[in-house]
Structure 1
Amino acid sequence: MIVGTVKEIKNHEYRVGLTPESVHELTAHGHRVLVETRAGDGIGAGDDLYVKAGAEIIATAAEIFATADMIVKVKEPQAAERAMLRSGQILYTYLHLAPDPDQTRDLIASGATCVAYETVTDASGGLPLLKPMSQVAGRMAIQAGATALEKAHGGRGVLLGGVPGVLPAKVAVIGGGVVGFNAAQMAAGLGADVTILDRSPEVLEKLGMYFEARAKTRFSNKANLADCVADADLVIGAVLIPGAAAPKLVTADMLKTMKKGAVLVDVAIDQGGCFETSHPTTHADPTYVVDDVVHYCVANMPGAVARTSTYALNNVTLPHALRIAELGWKEALRRDVHLRAGLNIWDGKVTYQAVAEDLGLPYTPAEDAVA
């Protein structure tokens, strides 16, 4: 199979779909790999390293889209990239379609077979291709929130961990999954006063056992959520419904109860955001203020630590890429029900139910695609 990876063009996105090591694995299995020139600059991997791994360096993304059987990326294709996709081509990347009708419409029109990292599952019910980026984003959320709390960045002027004689910042983490756990871990490690909210008693029990006295847990209902948001200096939005748009848990009315200069970090922004007042921002202009509350809603947070993120991502995406290249997408998905869960678009049809429901589109089961 001819596998291609291109330089990411989303604002301040420095990750790359394939590392030189991943290219070496693919070429060792007899596949031809095309890499756009300078695609790996953001992770410190020059063209020479890709050539040494067996890749062919290609001058433009257009040439790769025109030639490759499978495109391996990191972020969802931008409009210019979507226009270059063709019928029957495999797109293997993050998509986050539920809050993005324009992208969904373009991918349907392209006729491409689109496998989304974020909906691939595993035997334990987890999302293994999303997990490493959720770990990165959860940890980064605390770094970003701590910076936004500084007075020079519009915040309250509060140090997250406080100092002897002065209370630490209060951090509310909404959601106790991978993002929430990693955010709480970082915040507690810095000495903040941390509360984690979740609706699952089992999750709350596990978090309580792990953190003991270093973080508090509360059941996430409307009253408890409103209380924690009003009391917090920093709120981390870490909720996820796989493949679906995130629920708007923090309302515009709740903002009016918050402290002036408090900070919201919406890690769920890729799926539309879990704060009613959220809209996507970029690393170039990461924050905005609504009702004196600072909002940080960068849609590709892990792109800022591109080397760590790219290698963590390739560790989990490469095995599936190899399987698709070896067997073809249809046979690979037929054999692996968990990889099949990643199929979001096929032959002009939406094959992931949550996406179809959120966007009001007809749904075709992925099983039909591999039949």
Structure 2
Amino acid sequence: MYRVDSLLSSTKNKISSRLFQLAHRIGENSFTRERKLTFPMVFSTISKLVKKSLAIECEWLEPSTNKVPPSKQALSKARYKIRHTGFQELLEDSLVETYKDEPDYGTWRGYRVIAADGSSLRLPDSKEIVNQFGRHKPNGTLGKMPPLARVSLFVDLCTSMICSARLAPWSTGEQSMAQEQLPEVVNKMCLLKQEHLLFIYIYDRGYPSLKFIKQDEDLGVDFIFRVQERAYLSLWERVAQGESDFEYLIETREGNARVRVIALTLNSGKTEILITSLFDNMAFTSQDMSKMYFLRWHIGVSRIRTLHLVDESPTEVKDSSLVAWEASWRESKTMESSDNIFRKEYVQCTRL
């Protein structure tokens, strides 16, 4: 809980800091006069993840006083004077706060286990958003389709810490986003003295390309990929013949890569195949791999469950997204400190 208290205290001080305000306001004249809506007040209101109407939120800005509350038009206008980079900085601060004093906090056998996954996010339907993010147009579908964004997250499975978050147009590929984020995450972790990194990639579309595997190898990090059906057919044939843990050589026109293959049987009876760079089957058994893989629920819908988009500009979409991701970290840390399932005596059955 002390991490949450420390982060909230430093966040409050930072929002009130003149340097922070100057760095993240839009326009040199923004928030320079004595007004009802100060930078800290507007920034804090956005951070609350507004779900009520703006009129109600404005009433709550001046509770139990005789002051006339600001209008919803004034609050909406003030929002446009704040850059999304301020919320991004707070997200980065939460990362530092998690690891700075205890670099080994939340590691598994010395590894920082980070899962990456892509998802979609439906956006408000406005001309400005459609111009930036585009519409979802599945084949064979008629009519007006909603604007969608592509979401790519890298999440620490043992601490629920969001290491990197990216929002892009729907036309952007999941793996393309992950390939851009990977060096960024590795650099962040190295600066925080996180030397042994294990990345788990969970994609519903695409498959582990040799280029992506080589990128992990070049960066000196280990990986686990989920293999899509019909990708690397000879691999699936060996699994069909009864093999469940073996080495395999991926051969393509781009080159070769040797990986370890692990076949898992889900409760539904479906078989899922993982490929990894962890070849030591004594130190990392197939049961270990299964346990790690099934912790992927940390990176599911819960990572954006707090997001409620009611505005109609790309700037506000970015603000809301970053606030939601940062808030989900605070929520997970609070749960870890208060819920029985996250107490130390339960760690062995709920965490790695």
Q: What is the TM-score normalised by the length of structure 2?
A: 0.25
Q: What is the TM-score normalised by the length of structure 1?
A: 0.24
Q: Which has the larger radius of gyration?
A: 2
